[in-house]
Structure 1
Amino acid sequence: MGAARLLWPTEVEDPRAIVLILHGGKARSQQAVRPWQAAVWRMAPFARSVTQAGSGAVGVASLRYAVRGWNAAAASPVGDAELAIEQIAARYPGVPIGLLGHSMGGRVALHLGGDERVRAIAALAPWVEGRDPARWHPGLHVLVMHGTRDRMTSPKQSRAMAELMTSQGADVTYVSVQGEGHAMLRQADRWHEESAAFLVRHLLTPG
Structure 2
Amino acid sequence: MLLLHGGSSEGIGAVPPWSLAGARMRPFVRAVERSCAGHGLLIGSVRYRCRGWNGDREDPLRDALRALDDLALRAGDLPTVLVGHSMGGRAALRAGGHRLVRGVVGLAPWCPEGEPVTQLRSRRVVLLHGDRDRTTDPAASVDFAARAAAAGARTCTLLLPGGDHAMLRQAGSWHRQTGRIVSGLLGFAPLPSQVADRLSVNGRTE
Equivalent residue for 2:63, pick from 80, 86, 90: 80
Superposed CA deviations along residues 21-50 of structure 1, whole A, max 9, x for unmatched, are 000001000111012121110001111111
Q: Percent identity, aligned pairs only?
A: 39
Deviations 1:103-129 (CA, angstroms, capped at 9, x unpaired):
000000100121231001110000010
Within the candidate set 116, 126, 137, 2:109 is matched to 126
Aligned residues: 187
Which residue is 2:22 aligned to?
40
Alignment partner of 1:143 is 2:126: yes
Aligned to 1:11: none
Between the aligned partners of 2:152 and 2:47, the Cα distance in structure 1 is 32
What TM-score, normalized by structure 1, do the two folds share?
0.87
Q: Which moved more, 1:197-206 or 1:186-195?
A: 197-206
Counterparts of 1:15-164 in structure 2, within 5 Å, are 19-57=1-39, 58-134=41-117, 135-138=119-122, 140-164=123-147
Q: Could you list the runs of 4 or more consecutive aligned residues of structure 1 that deviate by over 2 angstroms after TM superposition?
A: none
How many Å apart are 1:205 and its aligned residue? 5.5
Asked if 1 retains the 8 angstrom alpha-carbon contact of 2:121 and 2:152, the reply is no
Following the alignment from structure 2 to structure 1, what is the Cα–Cα distance between the partners of residues 180 and 74? 24
Structure with greater strand share of residues: 1
CA RMSD of aligned residues (A): 1.4
The residue matched to 2:76 in structure 1 has which SS?
coil
1:63-88 CA distance string (max 9 Å, x none): 22011000000001111111100111
Deviation at 1:160, TM superposition (A): 0.2
1:128 is aligned with what amino acid?
Answer: C
Deviations 1:112-160 (A, max 9, x none): 121231001110000010021113132x211101111111111111110
